[in-house]
Structure 1
């Protein structure tokens, strides 16, 4: 048996004792963005990975969801597992129909394997454009994958930074599936919410079949987790951006924890406080229910009450 790889130096493990949120999530809340890592002894990490994380098992994920009041999940393939979707598929299978999966696939994947993933609960693939996490994102290969999954009713999850949207927008707009954007396209929150960069992103969403995850304030924020200027919540600089997306596209927004929060370097968020962040970006009960229940159910469990 091969020795287990050591964690990447400086790796921050997930927060072990999250607080009990003051905000009570509505029944049937869906976490549309979470991951599993390994456990490495059972599901080895990919040789080409850019990082070696701590273990973060399906049982630990589901225990967190029970603690927070989350009913369902969408488990996104982690880059440390490459295109071996085994850990993600195992977690989805263990959820008894209360989870869906987002896979990483390569263009040489067989039709039989795509059908197997579909039967296992996978409903999309993720295209990653962050250069620190992937070496290349060849457009021709990704277009070939998109053409094959479109007839299956799958969608494409996009991970990019807003500064890179101008060079990617034409490619994204030509893809033949619905699109789901991770973390609001990672806006620069030091720029005005009414500025050119975020305005470009909003217009991209407006003019295409795009859903937006208002997730990961801990990745986007400059001010960080401390409350500032009398505010009673963390990540205050992200609020105007997330609130704008919720207000402009109430029927196409999604939320998730991003547990176990890979590749953070300055702090590890308390998942209970991330839940308490929600009522600051979705102000009304109607907005909250659409964000947390109605929209993800329509996308991932269509036709199911």
Structure 2
């Protein structure tokens, strides 16, 4: 569908337009005006607990149109009221749009000094499209750069949406079934087995939050390295949160950095393949060997 795009701050030129984004000094969904620069603007996403970051124009557009876009992407006949749409709408805001809002509004990602610099985010990629200070500029050049940025942003948005819709979301049922069967794996209920690798972290934390408060935390995940017959198996520690590098309980320190025969000797478990130096993951030739690793790690 072709649309005409006008890039201007001229109020007279903005007035007849169907939708105005990021300029104009007005936030009015009824009039399709979505600016966030005006004094007194304080709109937040307001759903799913996302109420700390003031919205940028990206967040405003997503808040009002995101569900329609997601429903259309899921396929013909999918309604904005579909439960999947709500889940994806919140997930994509968390994983992509909130950071754009925070960066655009000058919100630091942390109150403490960062351990390292991260400049591969979408906002940084778009910013680098601007002409360099020592290059010539013109309205035509800025228009060209704008459309390049629009293309990159659109591709990134749809790429993330497709991942969450067609890979991440279907994994929820896999995780749910595995959690229900965890006591069949080990009486502790702290070891979960997946028969195939899948995106499990977000779903595990969401589903685990519905358990009674007295339920022991899940500590280890087991899964095959591939779908091929006779595949080796992996063990992975559950982190403290889905974006944390700190484990609830790491694999035993004497195993860390060990491989093959040396690992089997140190652990007392045949078929060892490796344990990462940080102790967050490891492997064995067989499921039985990996399960023994998990059980020994529980007692360590």
TM-score (ref. length: structure 2): 0.33
Q: Which has the larger radius of gyration?
A: 2
